[in-house]
Amino acid sequence: MAKNVKKKELGLGIRALLNNLDEQPPPEKQEEMVRELSHTVALIPVAQIEVNPFQPRKDFDEDALEELASSLKVHGLIQPITVRRLSGKEYQLISGERRLRAARIAGLKDIPAYVRIANDQEMLEMALVENIQREDLNPIEISITYQRLIDECSLTHENLGDRVGKKRSTVTNFLGLLKLPPQIQQALKDKKISMGHAKALRGINDLAIQLSIFNEILSNGLSVREAEKLARDYQQPKTRAADPAKRISDAHMQVQDNLRHFFGTKVQLKANEKGKGQIVIPFTSDEDLNRLLDLLEK
């Protein structure tokens, strides 16, 4: 079961709603049902979900899937998939095939999902737009709703901006949050970091540096401006003429990248032509050091 989905998130009456989907609801009840299902997450057995045969995407990066699966084992699934109830205990995937594949690799038995009913396109769009106006949504919930409007209602960023009364750039910034690593998304969801912190982290392409700065924000309570400055310093290091003799091989570079991803910090590998060298693992605080020690013990 995904760790991020709590029982209270399943919503009151969700099981009754799902049971009622076996019968076509009358028109006066259908709109109410769509409104409820539009923002309610249900836990669906992975074995009961079939892939949409009309899914245009056929090729998936296996390494990326394995990496996502490893993350799901630790953090659970933050962004639910969307399925359509067929009949009985059968569901068909609408969006989120990459997440579904990774969940299967991770061995998850259940997966959080939004459930749609047939021919609810227009009502769903209205329900989602109405839901996005709520004041108690956190940035990740807003981002997920924006993504659902794009995926399920075939809206562009500009169309979506018009629907929710936001600038196109604002919509794009929110959607970018879903590309952040799960632990950063969860911290934003739990209000451990702000939207400003997340935006600063989003501008970093190197995952190791991104996680390193994220850990420093948490450990040292950095402000948004301090986080932005730290991100700029990492992105624009002091230029210095490269010494060809100190460059490492492509094979060593791959090892260094793997270590950076594993430790979540800017690990540096130094090696000479004879194979001798050292590995430098920086840390920003005692708490960060303990985190690294825990990883080494594992």
pLDDT over 90, % of the chain: 22
Helices (H), the chain: 14-20, 27-38, 62-75, 97-106, 121-132, 139-153, 157-164, 168-176, 182-189, 195-202, 207-220, 224-235, 250-263, 286-297
Asked if the structure places residue 124 within a domain, the reply is no
- Are 79 and 168 members of one domain? no
Taking the alpha carbons at both ends of the chain, their separation in whole angstroms is: 23
Question: What CATH code is carried by the domain that includes residue 161?
Answer: 1.10.10.2830
Q: How far is CA 35 from CA 18, 32, 41, 80, 122, in A?
A: 13, 5, 12, 17, 11
Closest CA to 43 of 19, 15, 13: 15
Is residue 252 in a domain?
yes
Q: Assess whether 24 and 81 both reside in one domain.
A: yes
Q: Is residue 128 part of a domain?
A: no
φ/ψ of 115, rounded to 5, equals -110, 130
Report if residue 170 sits inside a domain.
yes
> Does residue 93 sit in the same domain as residue 170?
no
pLDDT for 273? 73
- Count structural domains, the chain: 4
Q: Report the distance separating Cα 287 and Cα 264, nearest Å.
A: 14
Is residue 217 within 8 Å of 229, Cβ to Cβ?
A: no
Mean pLDDT of 206-213: 87
Looking at the domain assignment, is residue 279 inside a domain? yes
222 and 268 co-located in one domain:
no
**Is there a contact between 112 and 72 (Cβ–Cβ < 8 Å)?**
no
Q: What pLDDT, on the 0 to 100 scale, is given for residue 239?
A: 43
Catalytic residue among 31, 36, 97, 141: 97
- The answer to whether residue 173 is domain-embedded is yes
For residue 15, is it within any domain?
A: yes
Mark whether 105 and 25 lie in a shared domain: yes
Contacts for 285 with CB less than 8 Å, ≥ 6 apart: 216, 219, 220
Look at residues 95, 119, 143 and tell me which one is the last residue of a structural domain. 119
φ and ψ at 285, to 5 degrees? Answer: -165, 170
Q: Which of 39, 52, 34, 32 is nearest to 11 (CA)?
A: 39
Q: Scanning the structure block, which residue is given the tokens 């699934």?
A: 77
CATH number of the structural domain spanning residue 40: 3.90.1530.30
Q: Which residue has the tokens 């067929």?
A: 86
Task: Give the SS3 label for residue 278.
Answer: strand
* Pairing mode, strands 81-87 and 110-116: parallel
51/144 same-domain check: no
pLDDT band at 123 (very low <50, low <70, confident <90, very high): low
Please, which pLDDT band fits residue 110 given cuts at 50, 70 and 90? very high
Q: Are residues 11 and 115 in the same domain?
A: yes
Q: Is position 97 annotated as part of the catalytic site?
A: yes
| 154-169 mean pLDDT | 86
- Please list, residue by residue across 263-290, b when 16 or more beta carbons sit within 10 angstroms of its beta carbon and e when fewer do: bbbbbebebeeeeeeeeeeebbeeebee
Please say if the pLDDT value at position 86 is more than 60. Answer: yes
Least confident of 16-30, 113-127, 172-186, 275-289: 16-30
Q: Is 2 a domain residue?
A: no
Q: Are residues 156 and 181 in the same domain?
A: yes
Residues 125, 153: contact at Cβ < 8 Å? yes
* 8 Å CB contact between 226 and 196: no
Residues 48 and 80 in one domain: yes
Among candidate residues 88, 119, 150, the one where a domain is terminated: 119
Q: Say whether both 261 and 223 belong to one domain.
A: no
Residues 111 and 59 reside in one and the same domain: yes
What does R_g of the chain's alpha carbons equal in angstroms? 22
Same domain, 202 and 180: no
Which residue range is the domain that position 200 belongs to? 194-235
pTM assigned to the model? 0.55
